Amino acid sequence: MPSSLNTRLALTLVGCLLAGAAMAQPRFDAGKREFDDNCAACHGKDGKGAGSITDLLKKSPPDLSTLARRNGGIFPLARVYEVVEGAGPGHGTRDMPAWGKTYSVEAAEYYIDVPYNQEAYVRTRMLAVVEYIHRLQVK
Ligand code: HEC
């Protein structure tokens, strides 16, 4: 029957429009979420060092938006990764938590009875936040 076909076509069209509207939402930004949740309290939302709890720290958090500028225009990826992971060479008494360890513990608590690759889990979160810091760089 043509009228039911028309109805079906109309419904399909509505379905496509709704799907399109859903896809138009901003994409999930894992690095930003990681940064906002775990780093912004100290480093500030924009990474410039004006976090909400900085007066509780012995050292002021460095400006993370000028890492490239302070390194001859090149983002020091490996060093940033090491600092965040906490596995780099001694930084004296660190005010900053070692995230590599924190993420490992979190993973272990989350995936209690399920086999998972802990290193992959930690690396994914580390790389997401490091990539986000890269996007915060000023010229
Ligand atoms: C409790 C406060 C605090 C939190 C939370 C924190 N940091 Fe830090 N961060 C610091 C301080 C203070 C320093 C300076 C070095 C030190 O004292 O450990 C620092 C140093 C750094 C550096 C080295 C910058 C440079 O100039 O070499 C990077 C990169 C960094 N933090 C990234 C992060 C990321 C990414 C997160 C979140 C996953 C984070 N920090 C969470 C306090 C913090």
Each residue of 91-117: pLDDT tens digit?
445 677 788 888 888 888 888 888 888
Collect the ranges in the chain with pLDDT lower than 50: 90-92
Mutate to test the pocket of ligand 1, among 38, 43, 135 (most ligand atoms within 8 A of CB): 43
- CA–CA distances in Å: residue 108 to residues 71, 101, 121, 127, 129: 36, 11, 10, 19, 20
CB-defined site of ligand 1, < 6 Å: 38-39, 41-43, 57, 59, 61-62, 64, 67, 80, 83-84, 91, 94-97, 99, 129, 133
Q: Supply 10's token pair.
A: 């109309």
Distance between Cα 34 and ligand 1 center (Å): 13
What pLDDT score does 26 carry? Answer: 72
